[in-house]
Structure 1
Amino acid sequence: MKGCGKNYAAVLKGERDIDILYLNDPALYPHQVRVAVQTSAICGTQIGEWNMSRGPDPYLPHCFGHEAVGEVLEVGDEVNGLSVGDRVIVSWMKASADYHAPPKFRDESGAAVNFGQCCTFVTRGVFPGNRVFKIDESIDTDSAALLGCALLTAYAALKYVTSASEIDKGEIAIVGAGGIGLSVAALCQAFGWSAVCVDTPEVTTYLETQDLGFQFVSTVLARAQRVGKHPIVIVCTGAHSAFELAEKLLPQNGGKMLVIGNPPYGTKVSLEIKPLLYGREIIGVGEKDVELPRDLYELVDLLKTGRLDAERLVRQRFPLAHIQSAFEASVSGLGGRTLIDIS
């Protein structure tokens, strides 16, 4: 039974230091849901927490992870639309504002372990109802595990593209072929839009061997052959050089740069201002652009109809007990998402 046995979790204790601890099962507040997590994905945000590139972490030790698929074990009295046994998506993005404190978890010694509102590298997590969404049983586990962040974020970015004509879209350039970048590429295919993924020669050479069905070009060739040729460029990495390359790929005095990468805090880039006077747009895309639950269920429809193939976006998977190795493997930058099997 999913609700029995010890509740174990990946706890970040310091830079590149993860421990598996047994936690208690705190009583629910009325607005909360207890979920048995099945599978969770490693996002660039977690890599930034793990290697401390996001800056000092005042909440250590803490659980982490922020997108998962699982099953409802218990529902608070104030939560509507969810029942025990429901298959659900857990997302760090929320359908409404948070008005309550996060759950209080403790390890076997009684020491407090920070959990936040959404931490998914855990056997049984407690989440506010505004971050838990019922999902169709027919959606495969790998695709479902990506719905809470990667696919939602990519979908939000492409909503800025839908109003453009086919001529104005041209061929969309996706700079950065990690989990988010490949999610954008998969959605472009679902919508019938032409797109190319741009990354380092090492990454593109590797991805071309994986039979993903996407078009890839190296950063070297992009700088040599594609300057000014892409009306829409979507930056899906936090690398400093990605922003400078994206600027070169746009038309001289126009185009639209969408930024959904996750750069380290303090990242600064030098961009030419003059094109902004002629209509060039630079737009940051994030949680503010996601409409829940509507966007989630539109993605589910794309999966159910076969227009969106998300299973190919998973590069590797590890059990929770080997999550340290999973992070070490994920920093290679070779594209795709790493999944953590919890149950």
Structure 2
Amino acid sequence: MRGLTYRAPDEVAVVEVKDPELPDEFGAVVRVSTAGICGSDLHIYHGHGFSPDIGYCLGHEAVGRVEAVGSRVDGLAVGDRVLVPASVGCSTCRQCRTGLIARCENAVRGATVPCYGLSHALPGSQAELVAVPHAVTNLVPIPPELSDDDAVVLTDNAPTGWYGARRGRITPGDTVAVVGLGPVGLMAVQAAFVLGASAVFGVDPVASRRATAASLGAVPVESADPKGAIRAATGGGVDVAVEAVGADASIALAISAVRTGGRVSVIGVSQNKAYPMHLMAAQVKELEFAIGLCSVQYELPALLALTAGGRLRPSAVVSHRMPLSEAAEAYRLVASRNDGVSKIVLDPSG
């Protein structure tokens, strides 16, 4: 099959790779119809990956149809249309049984791999086929009324944005700032309004992203001093800030943008092991601070219902559709942030 592989910093290539096999009697193989490029894939693309491996397939967002299924998998059959959540669970530990896949006890101990496309251990889904372990936990049937574009955003970006808004405890009437308006941030904007926000301020240095956020109802922060602009507009700061980048500067901005007694929810993937939080300032401000990784499977029941009912529009963050054969150019485009790029989805048939 063809798959997009990581070769070196800023170098990826679509090559022929070995077809995946059933992991075991509990696994499945999915033929991918649509794959997404996630902002966190850029960590790997730029050479700051999660393993020293090279030559493995990238990607952790996919929808498709079941191609093969293990003998001990119940409730799934060949031909079923499914989405492949980015979070990968073991099915057996206490956390996974409650749907909190990001807390998988076996992944914490290194006995299982928590995500696709980080190494050869669990090859990614920007390919024609992807192997899925523990299929009952790690595949979700797609309602027929949902498009592939909606479904692929629901594999990661939409649940993460929702998780960030939910962890920020947004309640009706709250004012909210979303820092970082990539696909996750744009979904956080939508989530904030669904949860009852009275106003959502969108912060991003890229004008096209601010414009997309504005089309979703956000107030784009155009100032070179976003903290000052937000404080001036709200009389001292927003109730909740959702940080969707993972950089030190954006986390600091989120902390400074909330009012006294405000709440900060960090969902941007950070590789900084020593963030310099000013604890005394946070304490004096009575700041609530939440940070974590999304358990996609836990969030999906609500999001599938909200999408089917028209309350959420995951496909609104999709800006480009490209064939898998042009995936290397797609990565360059995502990294450049040019041409109004937000979410690129790949078609493995092309």
- Quote the offset at 1:216 in angstroms: 1.5
Query: 2:224 corresponds to which residue?
Result: 220
Is structure 2 residue 278 aligned with structure 1 residue 271? yes
- Quote the offset at 1:275 in angstroms: 3.0
Match of 1:317 among 307, 313, 321: 321
CA deviations on 1:115-153 (whole Å, 9 max, x unpaired) are 433611110111111321111121011110111111111
Judged with a 3 Å threshold, the aligned counterparts in structure 2 of structure 1 residues 61 and 171 are, in CA distance, closer, same or farther, namely same
CA deviations on 1:52-80 (whole Å, 9 max, x unpaired) are 1347x412121110011110011001222
Q: How is 1:259-298 mapped onto 2 (pairs within 5 angstroms)?
A: 259-266=266-273, 268-276=275-283, 279-287=286-294, 290=295, 292=297, 294-298=298-302
Q: How is 1:37-48 mapped onto 2 (pairs within 5 angstroms)?
A: 37-48=32-43
CA deviations on 1:277-316 (whole Å, 9 max, x unpaired) are 55311110213xx262x42121111111111112211121
- Quote the offset at 1:154 in angstroms: 1.5
CA deviations on 1:202-253 (whole Å, 9 max, x unpaired) are 3556547x844433113525233223321110101123321222122111x4
Match of 1:87 among 76, 81, 84: 81
- Quote the offset at 1:264 in angstroms: 3.6
Query: 1:61 corresponds to which residue?
Result: 55
Identity among equivalent pairs (%) = 23
TM-score (norm 1): 0.84
Query: 1:10 corresponds to which residue?
Result: 4
Judged with a 3 Å threshold, the aligned counterparts in structure 2 of structure 1 residues 114 and 181 are, in CA distance, closer, same or farther, namely closer
Judged with a 3 Å threshold, the aligned counterparts in structure 2 of structure 1 residues 239 and 278 are, in CA distance, closer, same or farther, namely closer
- Quote the offset at 1:101 in angstroms: 6.9
Is structure 2 residue 145 aligned with structure 1 residue 138? yes
Name the Cα RMSD after superposition. Answer: 2.6
Judged with a 3 Å threshold, the aligned counterparts in structure 2 of structure 1 residues 225 and 215 are, in CA distance, closer, same or farther, namely closer
Judged with a 3 Å threshold, the aligned counterparts in structure 2 of structure 1 residues 339 and 171 are, in CA distance, closer, same or farther, namely same
Q: How is 1:116-131 mapped onto 2 (pairs within 5 angstroms)?
A: 116-117=121-122, 119-128=124-133, 129=135, 130-131=137-138
Equivalent-residue separation in structure 1 for 2:172 and 2:74 (angstroms): 42
Equivalent-residue separation in structure 2 for 1:132 and 1:233 (angstroms): 32
Is structure 2 residue 343 aligned with structure 1 residue 337? yes
Judged with a 3 Å threshold, the aligned counterparts in structure 2 of structure 1 residues 236 and 8 are, in CA distance, closer, same or farther, namely same
Is structure 2 residue 239 aligned with structure 1 residue 244? no
Residue 282 of structure 1 aligns to a residue whose secondary structure is strand
Contact 1:182 1:336 survives alignment (8 Å): no
Contact 1:198 1:219 survives alignment (8 Å): no
List alignment gaps of at least 5 residues for structure 1. Answer: 1-6, 103-112
Contact 1:64 1:115 survives alignment (8 Å): no
Judged with a 3 Å threshold, the aligned counterparts in structure 2 of structure 1 residues 118 and 61 are, in CA distance, closer, same or farther, namely closer
Contact 2:243 2:251 survives alignment (8 Å): yes
Judged with a 3 Å threshold, the aligned counterparts in structure 2 of structure 1 residues 64 and 219 are, in CA distance, closer, same or farther, namely farther
Q: How is 1:128-277 mapped onto 2 (pairs within 5 angstroms)?
A: 128=133, 129=135, 130-162=137-169, 165-166=171-172, 170-194=174-198, 195-200=200-205, 202-203=207-208, 206-207=211-212, 211-218=215-222, 220-227=224-231, 228-251=236-259, 253-266=260-273, 268-276=275-283
The code of the aligned residue for 1:193 comes to: A
Query: 2:94 corresponds to which residue?
Result: none
- Quote the offset at 1:201 in angstroms: 5.8
- Quote the offset at 1:177 in angstroms: 0.5
Equivalent-residue separation in structure 2 for 1:165 and 1:202 (angstroms): 29
Query: 2:19 corresponds to which residue?
Result: 25
Query: 1:305 corresponds to which residue?
Result: 309
Comparing 320-329 with 14-23, greater Cα deviation is found at 14-23
Is structure 2 residue 82 aligned with structure 1 residue 76? no
CA deviations on 1:153-191 (whole Å, 9 max, x unpaired) are 1122222244x5435xx2110011111100111222333
The code of the aligned residue for 2:3 comes to: A
Equivalent-residue separation in structure 1 for 2:345 and 2:38 (angstroms): 9
Equivalent-residue separation in structure 1 for 2:85 and 2:347 (angstroms): 17
TM-score (norm 2): 0.82
Comparing 260-269 with 28-37, greater Cα deviation is found at 260-269
Query: 2:100 corresponds to which residue?
Result: none
Contact 1:232 1:257 survives alignment (8 Å): yes
The code of the aligned residue for 1:11 comes to: T
The code of the aligned residue for 1:139 comes to: L
